Each structure stands twice: as structure tokens, then as C-alpha cells.
Structure 1
Amino acid sequence: MAEIPFFKMHGAGNDFILIDNREGHFSGREQAVFARLCSRPLGLGADGLLLIEPGSEVDFVLRYYNADGRPAEMCGNGARCGVWAAHRLGLCGRQARFRVFDRIYQARLEGPARVRLALGRASQVFSPDQLQAVASVHPRLTPLGVWNTGVPHLVLHSQVPLEEINVQALAPRYRYHEQFNPAGVNVNFVVAQRKGVLRVRVYERGVERETLSCGTGAVACALAAHQAWGWPAPIHVVSEGGTLEVSFTGSGGETALTGPVQLVCRGWLNSEVGSPEPGE
């Protein structure tokens, strides 16, 4: 019976299962299996899952899946954890060049538990002026724009203290808003703690709940603060899970995400993990 190596990690509280898939244990089409592994009552529990695989012209390939088992284009904190795991597996040195979907990224380990990820150029999908229908959802939440930082993120400036926001009840009204059909959007609630420091709560699509942090969301929030208030880089984004540092060159320039990563445990999955549950 084959044993499949895995790591359980988190990046600033955003947690992941990372599977060494160099021997091709998974094809990537096992949506129900990945969802079950990410389930907190039924599996290992995680916000997402990554397959680490060999690649040509890069050190390795990462394939990312949300907690619902569906593939997603990118995950900043997941990729940072993936770089650390790939380094531990001997796939790269302290500098890494890797592929996610059709894009190549670069990253480096800046210490035993800190990774800097170059995310490339972000794009603004919707400006605040294009979000009038979204602005009507809540009178004290002002849209600062939607940014694609690998995946799309709506940034909302809150006049309500973050701890008073019922994220699970309110965020789906934005996540599924008709303006963002059909794929929907991730939702970030932000307040300025002081110049250069944001406090954030985030609801992630595919996880369909609040997570302790989100890397691509942190970059979107920093870019929104730069555009709205003229803040220079770096900007620190504080969430319940920890603090991430976002660097950028202008509102449409190169971006980078730096922050902590932490190994929770490593082990082996039984090959029977891919067998269907009764009724599946």
C-alpha cells in the first residue's frame, strides 16, 4: 500500500495541505478527495491544498485547489508555503523559480520561516466609480476597487469596527453580487490602523468562509490603500493570523508578498485516501 508524503503548513494563519506528487499519485481531478482532506471535521482540515510536482524549465510546479476541491489560479500564502516545502524536499535552493498554471513566479527564503514571493503585475478590474451598485449593499462599506492579484479581490473600506462585522453573513452579498458573475470575487474588509498599516478581514471564495489571512488579498488591499490614500510601499497588512508585508512599484507595477510560514506537521497519506466514501 503506497504512502503519499504531505506537509501541513500555514502562512500567517492561512493553512494548507501540501502533497509531494512527484510520483503522480493524484491526477488533479480528485475534487471530492481534495475537499474531504480539507474538511475540518472529516479530514486534515485546511483552507486549500497544493500538489508539488516536477516541471520543465522551472524548479517545480504547484497546482492549487480551494477547500471545495476546485482548482484556482493562484494563492499567495499557499505558494509561499509551497516554496518552503519544495526547499525541504530538495527541489530548490533558497531562490526558487516555479510555475502555477501558465505563469512563472520567483521567490526566496529570507530566513528559516519567512518567504518573499514576487507576484508580478496586478491589474485593477473595477475602479470605485464602476462599483456604484456594489456600494449600495451597505452604507458604511465603501468599495475601493477590485484588483486581480492572481485571483480577483474586492476591497471595502469599513467605517464599522472590523470586530463588529458579521463576515459570514455579509460577505456573500458581495461575493455573489451580479456584477461579479459568473466566477464571483473574494471579499476584503479594511480599516487604516495608521499610515502604512492596514487591518483586514477576508472572506475567500472556494473556502466560502472567513480565513485568518489571505496573501493575494493582502496585496489587493495594499494597492487599494496606495491608490485611495497615496500610501507608499511597503504596506503592512494585519489580520488575525499574522502580518504580511506588501511591496510594489506604483499602482500597476510589480508586487511582492513577504511573511511568515510555519510547518505544523508532516506525514504520509494512505493511498486509500483516494477511494470513494460510501454514497459517493
Structure 2
Amino acid sequence: MTLDFFKYQGTGNDFVILDNRLGQFPKENQKLIAHLCHRNFGIGADGLILLENDDHSDFRMVYFNADGNESTMCGNGGRCIVAFAQHLGIFDQQTTFNAIDGLHHATMTDGIVSLQMIDVAQVEIHTDNWFVNTGSPHDVRLVKDLHSYDVYTEGKQIRNSVYGKEGSNVNFVEQLNDDTFKVRTYERGVENETLACGTGVTAVALAMYTGNYTQSQTVKLPVQGGQLEVSFKATPNGFTDIFLTGPAQQVFQGTIKAADS
């Protein structure tokens, strides 16, 4: 099997993206997907995304974690597939696409993608953390000295011992000022720290507002791979009009032989 692929990154969160509008990619082949995402034996990525036809929107996003399993929503992946769809000429500046958690609206101008996330009805408040589902499950924890924090060890332990087999992403947060929070994330499925996580910074913004650490409804979120921003509207019934904004860029494109995967 020979596959034409594109590699995109959004603040360092990187993805293999394939145009699957003809429906030829074997989505059930978990081994192949994991191989394509492998950083030593494949292309290398945090996940793989298929762009497919959709009856109710401009296109459909199908997302797989680096372990080959189809997963829940990926915010930075959503921004990257918007950039890919614009590259394919599917839309000019505004688009609507379908994903596992429903319809998403997005705009792209000068390399910056603003992606509408799903509404969030509740942020769970616990003793040492917050939990919120922003299309994917996220644990949010404030820590000190985030730069030297052992994200891998602590994230892995929380992901497995607290949340069991299904797991949760785990975000470690340090407040920089009234509306800015630095974030590092351990992602399930990747089973490691990633340079950015879109649904993760979205969860952080909502958790920090819920915890009264910020009064701003536009939150800046520096991550290992760059700068993201989350804006939202707080209501008595939760959060609406949630937008994740940041850069998305095509890194390269190529062809890979995957017959032995």
C-alpha cells in the first residue's frame, strides 16, 4: 500500500492527515495507523486524521490517537484539518465540519484558525483538581514551578490510577497573570507529554474561570509549542461560544509505503 499524506502542526501538536474522501483508507487497521504515527519507523505524529465527505457539512474529521485507536475530539487536530481543508479548496475563510462530538464552525485567516468547541454545561470541582469534558476528558491541576515539573511521571500516574483503563488527559497549570496560564499536558493515547493540547487548554481556561483565578472570558495559554487563546461566554447554565484560536501550518507532504504495516 502506498499512501499520499500531509503533515500539519498546531503549536507543536503534530498530525498525519490524509484525504479519505474516496473512502479507501483501512480505518480498522490499528497497526497501520500506529505505524504511520511512529516517530522512528513511520512518519511520526501525535495522531492521524482522515478528512472525509459528510452529508451535513463541508467535511468530516475522523481522529485516531498515536496508538491507532479512534479517539474523542482533538482541538489542535481540528484546527489543523481546517487548514488542510482550506489547502484542498473546500472553503475560503469559513467552514463547518462534523467530528465525533458534533458540528464545529471555524474560520482561517493568515494561518490562524479559530475553532468553535462544543458547549460545556459543567466543570466538576474537586479538592485538588477540576474535571471537564471539552470533547475529550481533562483533569486540570494547578502546580508551582511548571517548567521543572515531572509532567510525564505525574500525568501517567493520574491518568491510570485515578481514571482507570479509559483514562483522562491531565493538564498541569501555572498562573502567570490575571488572564494568562502556562499549560503542560499529558495525553492519553499518546501516553506522553505533547507540546500542546487544544481540548486541554480549553478545559484549563474554563476551570480557571470556574475557580475564580481569572475574571476574563478571553484567556491566553502559553504551551510548550507556542501560544493559544480560548474565548468563551459564561452563562448560568455553563459555557457557550467557546473558541480555540492559534496557528496551524502544513509542515510537509509525501508518500509512504505501508504494505508491511
Coarse TM-score class (shorter-chain normalised): over 0.9
Give the greater-gyration-radius structure (CA). 1
Q: Distance in 1 between matches of 2:45 and 2:198?
A: 15
Output the aligned Cα RMSD. Answer: 1.5
The one of 144, 147, 156 aligned to 1:172: 156
Once the two structures are superposed, residues 244-278 of structure 1 have per-residue CA deviations (whole angstroms, 9 ceiling, x without a partner) of 110011172221100011111012334xx1x344x
Equivalent position SS for 1:121: coil
The one of 123, 126, 142 aligned to 2:124: 126
1:267 corresponds to which residue? 254
- 1:36 equivalent to 2:35? Answer yes
Task: Specify whether residues 125 and 226 from structure 1 end up closer, same or farther in structure 2 by C-alpha distance, changes over 3 A only.
Answer: closer
Equivalent position SS for 2:3: strand
The one-letter code sitting in structure 1 at the alignment partner of 2:205 is A
1:243 corresponds to which residue? 227
Displacement of 1:67 in angstroms is 0.6
The one of 129, 132, 156 aligned to 1:147: 132
The one-letter code sitting in structure 2 at the alignment partner of 1:9 is Y
Equivalent position SS for 2:117: strand
Q: Distance in 1 between matches of 2:77 and 2:101?
A: 17
Moved segments of 4+, more than 6 Å: none
1:253 corresponds to which residue? 239
> Any conservation in 1 of the 2:178–2:214 contact (CA below 8 Å)?
no
Q: Distance in 2 between matches of 1:3 and 1:97?
A: 30
Once the two structures are superposed, residues 135-164 of structure 1 have per-residue CA deviations (whole angstroms, 9 ceiling, x without a partner) of xxxxxxx31x11100001000000x30122
Once the two structures are superposed, residues 186-209 of structure 1 have per-residue CA deviations (whole angstroms, 9 ceiling, x without a partner) of 000001011100011100000000
Greater mean deviation of Cα atoms: 17-26 or 241-250: 17-26
The one-letter code sitting in structure 1 at the alignment partner of 2:184 is R
- 1:193 equivalent to 2:176? Answer yes
1:132 corresponds to which residue? none
The one of 196, 206, 211 aligned to 2:189: 206
The one-letter code sitting in structure 2 at the alignment partner of 1:256 is F
Q: Which residues of 2 match residues 29-178 of structure 1 at below 5 A?
A: 29-101=28-100, 103-109=102-108, 111-124=109-122, 126-129=124-127, 142-143=128-129, 145-158=130-143, 160-178=144-162
TM-score, with structure 2 as normaliser: 0.94
> Any conservation in 2 of the 1:19–1:50 contact (CA below 8 Å)?
yes
Structure 1: runs of 5+ lacking an equivalent: 130-141
| Percentage of pairs with the same residue | 39
Q: Distance in 1 between matches of 2:66 and 2:216?
A: 34
How many residues matched?
257
> Any conservation in 1 of the 2:11–2:195 contact (CA below 8 Å)?
yes
Equivalent position SS for 1:71: coil
Q: Distance in 1 between matches of 2:224 and 2:90?
A: 32
